[in-house]
A = this chain, B = another copy of it.
Amino acid sequence: MTTADAARPIGVFDSGVGGLTVVRALMERLPLESIIYFGDTARVPYGVKSVATIEHFTEQITRFLLQRDVKMLIIACNTMAAVAAHVVHRLAGSIPVLDVIEAGARAAVAESPGGRIGVIGTPTTINSNAYARRMHALDASVRVYSQACPLFVPLVEEGWLDHEVTRLTAQEYLRPVLAEDVDSLVLGCTHYPLLKPLLRDVAGPAVKLIDSAVTTAEFAAQRLQHERLAYGGDSPATYRCVVSDVPLRFQTIGERFLGRSLGQVEKVDW
């Protein structure tokens, strides 16, 4: 393994800006690693599209990042992880591929002593049943209670993170899941970490919130060590953000997710 191999960036991608919550967690957990982020802002949201369309878009993005010579791919989009992870693995060959569902499922199973796990996400993620399948593969005794929350993404993008409307919406969505006395609640969408304070209030202190951005960064650190791909040089990390559109308020929304300035944003035309 040469230094040049380890110096390559980690490729992170999402259907829009949400995956920047994963980038933020990676920057904090792995400050020496360079990152290239791709957000498909021209075609967001994926959560309401068909599987065939999501597979097609996922293939396009994976090829783009592989051309940029990444050393690891992270699917920072629950919808793509739920229905199109096989596309990424097939194209990536020997390059390690991580995704937010695998990370969230592992953390939830490890941290739910009673084995009662709630999962919230977009309609496509929830309908795919991907979280329940992965959790059951890890521990067949867990019980999984899922709920689609289609309004959470627009509420986060509107910036209503601590608004009465968002609280009422959360109460309505979470009611059936909380009625099952879950031990933990997986935030199965990269937008949801921004609602953590409000969801913690609504869910109450007995329910542990599993933030898959944080758990994904932890698994990435372990995997880089294991594959001897962790960067140990002294060049400063570089961060690149590539999008398929620069929509209205992109800078504001992106910086809310990343928790810092976005720097220069590159646009591709598809």
- The residues of A with any CB-CB pair to B shorter than 8 Å are 41-43, 48-50, 53, 123-124, 127, 150-151, 153-155, 157-158, 160, 164-165, 168-169, 172, 245-249
Which among B50, B154, B160, B246 is the interface contact of A245 at CB below 8 angstroms? Answer: B50
Pull 30 A–B residue pairs with CB atoms less than 8 Å apart, ordered by A: A41-B49, A42-B43, A42-B49, A42-B53, A43-B43, A48-B247, A48-B248, A48-B249, A49-B247, A50-B245, A50-B246, A50-B248, A53-B245, A53-B247, A123-B248, A123-B249, A124-B248, A127-B248, A150-B154, A150-B157, A150-B158, A151-B158, A151-B160, A153-B154, A154-B154, A164-B168, A165-B165, A165-B168, A165-B169, A168-B168
Give the distance in Å from the alpha carbon of A246 to the alpha carbon of B52 in the complex: 10
Which single residue of chain B is at the shortest CB-CB distance from A43? B43
Please give, as numbers and ranges, the residues of chain B lying within 8 Å of A49 by CB-CB distance.
Answer: 41-42, 245, 247
Please give, as numbers and ranges, the residues of chain B lying within 8 Å of A154 by CB-CB distance.
Answer: 150-151, 153-154
Q: How many copies does the complex hold?
A: 2
Please give, as numbers and ranges, the residues of chain B lying within 8 Å of A249 by CB-CB distance.
Answer: 48, 123
Give the distance in Å from the alpha carbon of A169 to the alpha carbon of B166 in the complex: 10
Which single residue of chain B is at the shortest CB-CB distance from A267? B50
Please give, as numbers and ranges, the residues of chain B lying within 8 Å of A50 by CB-CB distance.
Answer: 245-248
Which single residue of chain B is at the shortest CB-CB distance from A159? B150
Please give, as numbers and ranges, the residues of chain B lying within 8 Å of A123 by CB-CB distance.
Answer: 248-249
